[in-house]
Structure 1
Amino acid sequence: MVAAVEPGWYDDGTGAMRWWDGSRWTEDFADFGFGVELRTSAVPASAPTAAGWYDDGRGRMRWWDGRRWTAQSRFSGGEQAYAGVVVDGRWIHLGELSQPIAGVVAVVDSLERIGKRPGFSRAAHAKALFGPRGRLAWRQFGRFDRRALGLAIESADQAWITFPPAGDEAGARRFASWITASADHYRNR
């Protein structure tokens, strides 16, 4: 028996991020490079009609302006945040990016070592490498100080990089360990 997949933005198998309504693919596509940009003018069937704060289906409340989701968001209040990464229940967020936490791996290491991780370099070459401000090109990543400490979040199809506060390697490692443990917990549910 196959478990039901919750509604949300997922890779549809062609490399595009597409809205899954819980039972089928819709015609809504998104580009998560620099915020959410719908590639279609269609409004998701479940979209509210009145402006206001609504659950966006990705673990946070977002402002619906009556026609589209805006970049304004807020969380439940029970979230954990560190270096721009927010974990709110089953979801993990960095800037405008969100994904289910199940299946991610978090590591803290030098940028030189992070850049050599197979999942990280695969994501970078697939143009699926993101920082707090959006998509990062491989050459942009190469401009960072290779000795700098980074917090990397890797999933099957993308990688995120952010930078812990200076001098807080222990805090970064605790947070990364907690993310990985949470991912394992939800992966096995």
Structure 2
Amino acid sequence: MEHHLIKVLTSDGSWERLAEQWGRQCADYGEDFDGYALDAIPVLRDLAVDDRSDAGVFGLLREDGTFDAVCQANSTHLPGYTGKVLRVRHLLLSPYFDFGEYPIEDYVKVLARMFARTVGLAKSDLRSEHVKFHLRSPADRQFFEATIEVFENATEFDGVAIRGSWLYLTLNQAADVA
């Protein structure tokens, strides 16, 4: 099963497709989509209205059209950084992952693909020299702590650190040229 990252917008109907899918998934577990992820869904819904060049809502889409995850990403200049920083926040996995019982490998696969595709944004649509990835749960932090040695040894990154609930990455700009 392959995934790709798309910008989710109300103007092209992709936000409505995501909300409809996730609404059905919530209903399958006796939950209400209107009460699902109240700290993130309203923020994402508002961002999906604007098609900005430096920010947006991005969904991890399977080949069959199913959204497995969604996040907010924006590229901006921040104090203390040279160059732009891609901030990834409000990362949500679909209600099936929230309410269902799946092997940990499925969760890890979706989280890893979401990570890889959002870092890809920093090298393409939202060009940035750094990435700050907000970790929403202790499980997310545990996953990234377990893989941080791989990131530190990867030629794509000049710097990798976890501080608090954030994963900090500095991209190796020379790796893009090679």
**TM-score normalised by the chain length of structure 2:** 0.25
Structure whose residues are more often helix by fraction: 2
In terms of fraction of residues, the more strand-rich structure is 1
Whose RCO is larger (CA < 8 A, sep 6+)?
A: 2
TM-score, length of structure 1 as denominator length: 0.24
